[in-house]
């Protein structure tokens, strides 16, 4: 699992570290993201057989407008407005190749982005569900759970690990 997490973190950093001209704000966002990642715990996913409420319509992030929506939702994990701005600048730099090990998803509630998550797959080490977040709505925890369940359903038959949300 450790190698899987390290590979995901390298992939996430590569969008800034390998950029020709990264902005200072995107570099600050990467540092904030990495600091947050260092304090997370990961474990085996506890998938549920309980019925899903299906309040989210989930789309894979396959274009820049969806990357922006992903960034806007995930940035809500940070309280400080300047930190959120840096995180959004960083996350909107994510670029995808056809063979990308990461799949990002945005969940829409009543036509508006409300949740996001990542499924990172390394066929040697397994799959990782991470960066799951939802807007601070009354049903925030339900949306997070729904996103996790949807990503678990999309995972291959490899060992599956999840970010342990606090």
pTM of the model: 0.92
Coil vs helix vs strand at 102: strand
Work out the angle at residue 103's Cα, subtended by the Cα atoms of residues 140 and 56, and round it to the nearest 5 degrees: 30
Q: Give 77's DSSP letter.
A: G
pLDDT of residue 133: 96
Q: Tell me: pLDDT of 97 over 90.
A: no
pLDDT of residue 164: 78
Mean pLDDT over residues 4-19, rounded?
93
pLDDT tens readout for residues 156-165:
788 899 987 6
Checking if the pLDDT of 145 tops 80, the result is yes
Q: Name residue, tokens 């940070």.
A: 78
Which has more confidence, 82 or 124? 82
**Residue 39 has what pLDDT?**
87
pLDDT digit string, tens, across residues 13-59: 999 999 899 999 999 999 999 999 988 888 888 766 555 668 999 99
Environment class of 92 (CB within 10 Å of its CB; exposed 0-12, middle 13-18, buried 19+): middle
Q: What was the pLDDT predicted at 50?
A: 57
Q: Report yes or no: 111 and 52 within 8 Å, Cβ to Cβ.
A: no
Torsion of the alpha carbons at 35, 105, 66 and 134, rounded to the nearest 10: -60
Q: Which residues contact 141 (CB under 8 A, 6 or more apart)?
A: 134
- What number does CATH give the domain 2-163? 3.40.630
Q: Where are the domains of the chain?
A: 2-163
Task: Express each pLDDT in 51-88 by its tens digit.
Answer: 566 899 999 999 999 999 999 999 999 999 999 999 99
């Amino acid at each position: 699992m450790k190698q899987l997490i390290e590979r995901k973190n390298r992939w996430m950093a590569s969008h800034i570290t390998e950029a020709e001209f990264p902005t200072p704000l995107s570099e600050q966002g990467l540092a904030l993201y990495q600091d947050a990642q260092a304090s997370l715990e990961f474990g085996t996913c506890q998938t549920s057989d309980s019925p899903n409420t299906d309040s989210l319509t989930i789309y894979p992030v396959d274009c820049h407008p969806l990357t922006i929506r992903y960034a806007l939702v995930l940035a809500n994990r940070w309280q400080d407005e300047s930190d959120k701005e840096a995180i959004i600048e960083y996350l909107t730099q994510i670029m995808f190749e056809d063979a990308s090990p990461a799949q990002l998803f945005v969940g829409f509630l009543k036509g508006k982005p409300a949740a996001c998550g990542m499924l990172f797959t390394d066929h040697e080490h397994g799959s990782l569900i991470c960066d799951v977040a939802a807007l601070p709505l009354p049903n925030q925890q339900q949306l997070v759970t729904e996103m996790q369940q949807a990503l678990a359903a999309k995972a291959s038959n490899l060992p599956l690990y999840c970010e342990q949300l606090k």
